């Protein structure tokens, strides 16, 4: 069973998908072109928010299950680590590849790097890193009123720089993959490190 963090993110991704599909179903006249972009921007922003929230929530989920009852020394160390993680979470504000990995490693001891490659799409970890960072830059650009950066996935077939259904869907799929891979990886980490089988 997936973690509570996963379940919450999954619902947010479904909401992002609904927004994206609303853009697809809009009539294709020029009047609706701007409206479609609003739906695509909202969908991408919601997917990024789901990823960010997942990272925050999975750290909290980690501390809720890593318990060795009656071991006072362990509980004292856990309290210190949990306080440190709370500090890191409060300062966490950009869920790009490097920051996300650092947050997970420093707060849980699990390094997701090897799990973040996307075999199904034939993307290496380096390619995933580049794509995730592009997604964050695109989201940052329109959130702050800047033009959308030019990447292969932010261009229409005619070459116009804008969000498209396929680009937003691919972004959503990548973020879903990262959530799923992290969830599985951290459950395995808990089992191997603490001999706790996670039941979430």
Each residue's pLDDT tens digit, 59-93: 999 999 998 778 888 888 888 898 889 889 999 99
Of 28-37, 62-71, 128-137, least confident by mean pLDDT is: 28-37
For residue 27, what pLDDT is reported? 63
Of 28-37, 105-114, 169-178, least confident by mean pLDDT is: 28-37
The stretch 187-194 carries a mean pLDDT of 96
Which position has the higher pLDDT, 49 or 80? 49
Residue 161 in 3-state DSSP? strand
Give yes or no for residue 37 having a pLDDT over 70: yes
Alpha-carbon torsion (188, 135, 85, 12), positive or negative: negative
For residue 128, what pLDDT is reported? 98
Give yes or no for residue 2 having a pLDDT over 70: yes
Residue with tokens 């789901």: 50
What pTM value is reported for the model? 0.92
For residue 30, what pLDDT is reported? 59
Residue 155 in 3-state DSSP? strand
Q: If pLDDT is split at 50, 70 and 90, which confidence band does 29 have?
A: low
Burial (CB < 10 A; 0-12, 13-18, 19+), residue 110, is buried
Residue 79 in 3-state DSSP? helix
Of 42-46, 103-107, 155-159, least confident by mean pLDDT is: 155-159
């Amino acid at each position: 069973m997936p973690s509570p963090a996963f379940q919450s993110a999954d619902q947010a991704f479904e909401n992002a998908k609904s927004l994206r599909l609303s853009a697809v179903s809009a009539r294709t006249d020029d009047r609706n072109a701007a409206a479609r972009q609003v739906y695509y921007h909202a969908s991408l922003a919601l997917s990024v928010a789901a990823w960010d929230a997942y990272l925050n929530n999975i750290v909290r989920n980690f501390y809720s299950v890593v318990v060795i009852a009656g071991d006072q020394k362990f509980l004292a160390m856990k309290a210190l680590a949990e306080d440190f993680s709370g500090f890191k979470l409060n300062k966490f504000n950009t869920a790009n590849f490097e920051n996300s990995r650092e947050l997970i490693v420093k707060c849980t001891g699990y390094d997701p790097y090897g799990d973040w490659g996307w075999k199904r799409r034939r993307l290496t970890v380096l390619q995933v890193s580049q794509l995730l960072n592009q997604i964050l830059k695109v989201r940052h650009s329109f959130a702050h009123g800047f033009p959308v950066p030019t990447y292969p996935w932010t261009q229409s077939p005619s070459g116009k720089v804008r969000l498209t259904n396929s680009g937003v869907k691919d972004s959503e799929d990548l973020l879903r993959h990262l959530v799923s891979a992290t969830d599985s990886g951290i459950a395995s980490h808990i089992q191997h490190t603490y001999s706790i089988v996670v039941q979430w």
